[in-house]
Structure 1
C-alpha cells in the first residue's frame, strides 16, 4: 500500500498493532485465506461458514441463546489463540518480513475502517445538505430491508451477509467486483424519449 497516511492514522495503526499483538501469528495465515492466495481458499471460507450456520440450524436455538453461544465461542477464541500462538511460535520465530506483513494488515484494517467511517459521515452529512434526499434514501432502504427480512429467514440473510463479508477481500483482490461493474456499464442504456 503506497497510500500516504496521516499522523492520526499512524497513531491508530500503532494502537491496533499493540491491541492485536497476541494475534499476529494467526493473522498472517488468515490474511492468506481471506485474499485467496490458494485456489481452495474460497471453498474453505464457504465451507467453514456453511458448517457453522448448519450447526446452529441443527441445534435450533432461540435467538438469545444463539447470540450467547456465539459470544462464548468468540470469547474463548480470543482467549486461546494468543496462548497457542505464543506457545507454538516464540518471540524469536518472528521475522522482519512477518513484521512487515503484520504492519500491512494493521494499515489495511485502519484505512478500510476510516474509509467506512468517512462514507457513513458523508451519508449523515446529507441530512444537513439535502434533507429530502437523505430521508427518501434512508426510509427507502429501511423499507426494503424490512420487506426482505419479513420475506426471508433472518438466519439465511445473516448467512449470506457473512459469506459476502468473508469473501469480499478476495473478490476485491482478484478484481471480480471491477469485472461486474464493467459488465454493468456495458449494458445498453434505455433510449430517452424526446
Structure 2
C-alpha cells in the first residue's frame, strides 16, 4: 500500500513538472470543467460545437483534419504558457494556488490510474473467465462497428467529446446519483398474482 502511495506521489510530481507552464491556465479550466458557474456547461458545449462546426464546414479529408488538429494543439501548447507568464508574474502564484494545482495534478493521476486499473481488470478477465471476456469484447466490437457504420463519424466524435468534457462536472455535481435516487424513489408497482 505504501508502495502505491509513493508511486502515486512520484507521478504527481512528474505531472506537476510537465504542466508547469500551464499552471495558471489550469486553475480557471478546473472551474469550467467542474461547472462552478451555471453557464460553464454552455461554454463547454459551445466551444466543442464551434470546433466541430468548423471541421464540418472545412470538409477536409481525415489526414488533413488530424494534421490541422495537431498543429492547433501544438500552437495552444506553445502559446498558453507564454500568455500565462506574461499576464501573471511569479508574484501572482500563491500557496493556495499551488495547493489547487497539486490537487488538479493529483486528480488527473488518480483518474489515469483508475482507468489503467479498469483496463487491466478487463484484460485479466481473459485469464479468469475467457468466455465472458470474449462475449463482452466481441459484442462491444460488433456494436461499435454497427454504430459507426450507421452514424456519421464526425457526429460520433462530437458526441464523445461533449460527453468526455461534461463528465467531470456531472460527477462533481452528483447528477447521476440524483437521477438514480429519483428512480429509486419512484412509485413501486406491485406484482399481480
* TM-score class normalised by the smaller sequence: over 0.9
The structural deviation recorded for 1:189 is 9.5
- Cross-structure match for 1:117: 116
Tell me whether 1:14 sits opposite 2:17 in the alignment. Answer: no
The structural deviation recorded for 1:92 is 1.4
Query: Matches of 2:186 and 2:62 in 1, distance apart?
Result: 42
Unaligned runs of 5+ in 1: none
TM-score of the superposed pair, with normalisation by structure 2 = 0.92
- Cross-structure match for 1:53: 52
TM-score of the superposed pair, with normalisation by structure 1 = 0.92
Q: Could you say what secondary structure the match of 1:6 adopts?
A: helix
Q: Runs in 1 of length 4+ with deviation above 2 angstroms?
A: 179-192
1:152-191 paired onto structure 2 within 5 Å: 152-183=151-182
Query: Matches of 1:142 and 1:186 in 2, distance apart?
Result: 36
Query: Matches of 1:67 and 1:191 in 2, distance apart?
Result: 55
The CA deviation string for residues 5-58 of structure 1, in whole angstroms up to 9 with x for no partner, is 700000000000000000000000000000001111000100010010001101
- Cross-structure match for 2:139: 140
- Cross-structure match for 2:30: 31
Tell me whether 1:105 sits opposite 2:99 in the alignment. Answer: no
Q: Could you say what secondary structure the match of 2:35 adopts?
A: coil
Query: Matches of 2:185 and 2:134 in 1, distance apart?
Result: 31
- Cross-structure match for 1:79: 78
> Residues 19 and 46 from structure 1, CA distance in 2 versus in 1: closer, same or farther, beyond 3 angstroms?
same
